[in-house]
A and B are shown apart, each in its own frame.
Chain A
Amino acid sequence: MDSLLTLLIFFPALAGLLGFFIDKGAIRAYGIAVTAIVFFLSLFLWLGFDNSNPGYQFLEHVPIISQFGINYSLGVDGISLFLIVLSTFMTMIAIIGLTIKDNIKNLIISVLFLEMTMIGVFASLDVILFYIFWEISLIPMFYIIGAWGAKLRIYAAVKFFLYTFAGSLFMLVGILYFAYLNQQATGVWSFSIADWQALRIPFEAQLWIFGAFFLGFAVKVPMFPFHTWLPYAHGQAPTIGSVLLAAVLLKMGTYGFVRFSLPMVPDASVYFIVPIAILSLIMIVYTAMIAYAQEDMKQVIAYSSISHMGVIILGTFAMNSEGITGSIFLMISHGIVSGALFMLVGVIYDRRKTKMMSEYGGLASSMPRFATVYGIMLMASVGLPLTIGFVGEFLALLGFYKISPVMTAIAGSTIILGAVYMLTLYKRSFFGEITNEKNRNLPDLTKQEITALAPLVFLVIALGVYPKPILDPIDNSVKHMLQNMEQKAVTQDAKDLLKKATTIGEEK
């Protein structure tokens, strides 16, 4: 199918529009049906994807503003393919696990629009198109947090919106500057990602562009010190909001680094390896410590998300195929695991209306199935071998080891620190005697919850044992990208580093 990507992007939006006419009682079933269809469409995409071809596939191209070089152009490669599948999968799971009752129609319609923007961001091959989807994704998320969140929801929603919007406006200036350089060099306006990746630009200009893009992406990831909006957003958002925010929206930022910063301004990226690595290390260690100090279960997971995003950034800036492939895999695994963890918190919150760990204790005896699932996800989050979390984390750290063993050692503490706060959480809430009588007769997981969680558990273990089907296509595209970067680099430092990276990749 030639227009599969267009279908994937606009089917949820169209379904969302039609959703206005659906009876309130049937809207949840409608939401599940639509997201399931989209998920299967994305599986078709995967089936039709040629693993041996590292370039963009499923290309679509329609001019929008031809004199300014803005086109509707879509395509996927190994890097974006799995992020699209992740988006459709997590949206489906999140709607299956949805327990909110009031105003559910507006909620489901917002989620469907959000799904459109998520797929759009990952499938865009035109920078302006990317920017459009990137920005509209704020609106449904803003509404989800602001309308169905907890007490401080409006503050959290506005903070979320303002932070990301401000960051991306700097990115817009960077985009325009890049377009101007491109126009100067080639004589035509173009916003095509492929053209930009092929353009050589002077080192000085690269630094500025890197900075502008960095502000846009870093807020979204969120990187230290721009991370302060995230705990609020997570703390106040309803379960479905947190799930989608952690699983997909944050990945847009790291995807931006892989798709834009690295291949478009390789020299600046190499130049900034150390500062970015230091920021990542701060993210990893500092937020892990904050996570340990939290009383609120959801905040623990929120901060642990930031910590793991640090590993992703570190792996990305390893500038070799192990590191980048690892960090892309980690994006997917973190999407699944953090999504599942937020969902589990939602499960217990629905029963007790509190997320404070001190309220719990001994849950393992009253809710054994819940405790088991929680335990598996926790292990995956920590990065236990044979779970999905291990593969990406290991590869990302392995990649960065070639840049700096010392920094990698510090970053490796993520596994230890992660174990510390996660196990503390587990111990305080699940083990021991039941201290609070309210917890004694809590019902275990319902059928609906099991339906939502079982596929996640399956994936966590299956992909942990055998990650090859996903790793191979990613690795292919990443190597291809690294070779382009090497050709494009203008400074000797960057050339050397990338040369080393690409040759090591070939030896394997």
Chain B
Amino acid sequence: MIEPISFDLEALNLPSLIPMSITVIGALTIIIIDLITKNLSKSFYVMVSLLFILLSLGSVIAYNGGERGFFDVMLIDGIATLTQIIILTASALFIPLALSSKRFHEFSFPEFFALFLFMIAGFQFMVASDNLILIFIGLETSSLALYALIAMHNREKSFEAAVKYFTMGALASGFYAFGSLVLYALTGSVELHKIEQVLIARDFEPIWGVFLAVVFMLAALGFKLSMVPFQTWVPDVYEGASAALAGYMSVVPKIAAFVVALRFFDIFVSAEIVWVQNILWVVAVVTMTATNIMALVQESVKRMLAYSSISHAGFAMAAILIGTTEAYSALFFYWVLFTFANLGAFTMLWVSRHKGNEFWGDTGYDHPYEKFSGMVKIMPIGAVLMAMFMFSLAGLPPFSLFWGKLYIMSAAVNSEFYVLAIIMAINSAISVYYYLKLVVYMFLREPTQQDGTIYMKNASTALKSIIGFAGFLTFLAIFFVGPLLEVITNYVKASGF
């Protein structure tokens, strides 16, 4: 006879599940509302989603229970809290982008918003656990929702993008499952902290088994993080997705995957396993360098931003390799600043979205460089803002991302990764060329046409205020980087990294 399982409800620590439950309930609410009444304006759904996101954000911040919850599957440490805050804030800034002035296919379906909330819940589970199975469930929930969101853009390229992302993502999931399997076979556990204990106890032997696990996990996370050589899907997928969603994809799914990578690789980095460090070193350096060079030859601003975002992911990966408290803080610090600069840049593309290729017929891109030719003469404020986002991404002081680069390079130097720091410097120098290319088009070339409306075809008050907000944060970063860094460092320290 099976023994009855008895447990104490208190020990479950149910409050640890509240933030995720809120987003899931939000998604269900939207579906139910859709069942009851059709023809509600998209602005209603945007605001309902926004409210649920903010509610979830509030519950993340207000949480003060224990670290573990729900059969010790949940892990609400400093990093989990911090990342959830980042994810929810970025999502709250993204969802109003649906309030564009032009009508888009996907936003007319309430399912879009439901899927969006499900996706966020998936990310939240990913970051708030060290159980490989729950992470897997979170990963799949979010990825499946994201595939559908891309496809809902309803253009030929979007289907291509969704299918491409789906097949690649399915392969990555396979790798992930296999990697977890190997880890379970080696250690008899799916919980990272137990895996760590077992591996340390037997001195990371047998080497082939550990190697296999590391390689599979690296491949799986590499897909999500778009590390070279698993980055091939990124430009096409970003090209196919709407500019708003592309901007979102370059930020939020990655930070969730970074947290998983951080939790996993920290086992090896803190034990100073040299071959793992070497693999990570090569991956980080090749990712930031190779994609930087590929970005140089792009003809479309969106593809350029896609490649550049991979390069930025390489920078953040370097932080995982360095593996000190400072480096982990630098990772989150960098990513927060990157979020705002990137949000601004992609939103600028989003507001200039227009139907068909009436002006640049033969390039086949929505946003070729030529489109922005002479923009400063037609729309000076827009051009100045866009230039500021570009300079920020290039790491020019005093704009936001400079501080991220400064801190991450400083973390490298302090741990005596001098070559890595110099490679980062060289990469920043390379990257400035393609960011500058857009600035050259906007400021130094003559306009090809006088119709200023193309830059604002899709603009609405909501979109303009988001650009303004991103611009404000990018420009005045110098005043809040200090407190921001302090908050992030506290959270990272609190989780014992």
Contacts and interface: CB of A to CB of B under 8 A. Distances in A.
Nearest to A153: B444
Nearest to A154: B444
Contacts of B17: none
Given A136-B396, A157-B444, A169 B413 contact: no
Nearest to B482: A65
Contact of A158 (B407, B440, B481): B440
Given A136-B396, A136-B397, A172 B482 contact: no
Contacts of A165: 396, 429, 432
Interface in A175-218: 176-177, 179-180, 183
B426 to A, nearest CB: 7
Interface string A140-182: 0011001100000110011001100110011011001101100
A162 B478 CA distance: 24
Nearest to B411: A176
Q: Which of A63, A66, A143, A173 has the most CB of B within 10 A?
A: A173
A68 interface: yes
Contact of A170 (B410, B422, B478): B422
A65 B397 contact: no
A454 interface: no
Interface in B382-413: 391, 396-398, 402, 406-407, 409-410, 413
A179 B410 contact: yes
Contact of A64 (B376, B391, B414, B478): B478
B482 A176 contact: no
Contacts of A135: 396-397
Contacts of B402: 132
B398 A172 contact: no
A238 to B, nearest CB: 13
A147 B443 contact: yes
A158 to B, nearest CB: 6
A139 interface: yes
B373 to A, nearest CB: 12
B410 A169 contact: no
B433 interface: yes
A143 B443 contact: yes
Contact of A146 (B421, B425, B440, B486): B440
Given A158-B436, A170-B425, A177 B413 contact: yes
A121 to B, nearest CB: 12
A228 B400 CA distance: 31
B421 A66 contact: no
A67 interface: yes
A143 B486 CA distance: 36
Given A64-B482, A67-B485, A135-B396, A169 B425 contact: yes
By size class, the interface of chain A is 35 or more
A40 interface: no
Nearest to A184: B414
Contacts of A180: 410, 413-414
B444 A67 contact: no
B375 to A, nearest CB: 13
Interface in B475-497: 478-479, 481-482, 485-486, 489
Interface string A54-84: 0000000001111110100000000000000
A131 to B, nearest CB: 6
B428 interface: yes
B389 to A, nearest CB: 14
A153 B482 CA distance: 39
Interface in A425-474: none
B331 to A, nearest CB: 16
B418 interface: yes
Given A66-B482, A180-B410, A180-B413, A169 B426 contact: yes
Contact of B425 (A65, A131, A143, A172): A172
B440 A132 contact: no
Nearest to B425: A169
Nearest to B395: A169
B444 A146 contact: yes
Contacts of B409: 172-173, 176
A176 B425 CA distance: 12
B401 to A, nearest CB: 13
Contacts of A183: 414
A147 B444 contact: yes
B443 A166 contact: no
Contact of A176 (B391, B406, B439, B445): B406
Contacts of B485: 65, 67-68
Nearest to B445: A154
A56 to B, nearest CB: 23
Interface in B448-497: 478-479, 481-482, 485-486, 489
A179 B410 CA distance: 9
B378 to A, nearest CB: 13
A369 to B, nearest CB: 36
Nearest to B410: A176
Interface string A96-128: 000000000010000000000000000000001
A385 B68 CA distance: 82
Contacts of B433: 158, 162
Contacts of B413: 173, 176-177, 180
Nearest to B484: A65
A153 B440 CA distance: 11
A132 B481 contact: no
Contacts of B478: 64, 132
A106 B376 CA distance: 10
Contacts of A157: 440, 444
A139 to B, nearest CB: 7
A131 B376 CA distance: 28
Contact of B422 (A66, A142, A173): A173
Contact of A132 (B398, B422, B432, B479): B398
B421 A166 contact: no
Interface string A282-314: 000000000000000000000000000000000
A103 to B, nearest CB: 8
Contacts of A153: 444
Contact of B396 (A63, A139, A146): A139
Nearest to A147: B444
Contact of B443 (A63, A146, A173, A179): A146
A136 B398 contact: yes
Nearest to A178: B413
A123 to B, nearest CB: 16
Contacts of A169: 425-426, 428-429
Nearest to B486: A67
Given A146-B440, A177-B413, A162 B429 contact: yes
Nearest to A172: B425
A162 B432 contact: yes
Nearest to A63: B482
Contact of B391 (A67, A132, A139): A139
Contacts of B406: 128, 172, 176
A147 B442 CA distance: 11
Interface in B337-373: none
Contacts of B410: 176, 179-180
14 contacts: A128-B406, A135-B396, A135-B397, A146-B444, A154-B444, A158-B436, A158-B440, A165-B396, A173-B422, A176-B406, A176-B409, A176-B421, A177-B418, A180-B413
Leading 5 A-B pairs by shortest Cβ distance: A166-B429, A65-B482, A169-B425, A132-B397, A146-B444
Given A132-B398, A183-B414, 16 more contacts: A64-B478, A67-B486, A136-B397, A139-B391, A143-B443, A143-B444, A154-B440, A157-B444, A158-B436, A162-B429, A162-B432, A172-B409, A173-B413, A173-B425, A176-B406, A176-B413
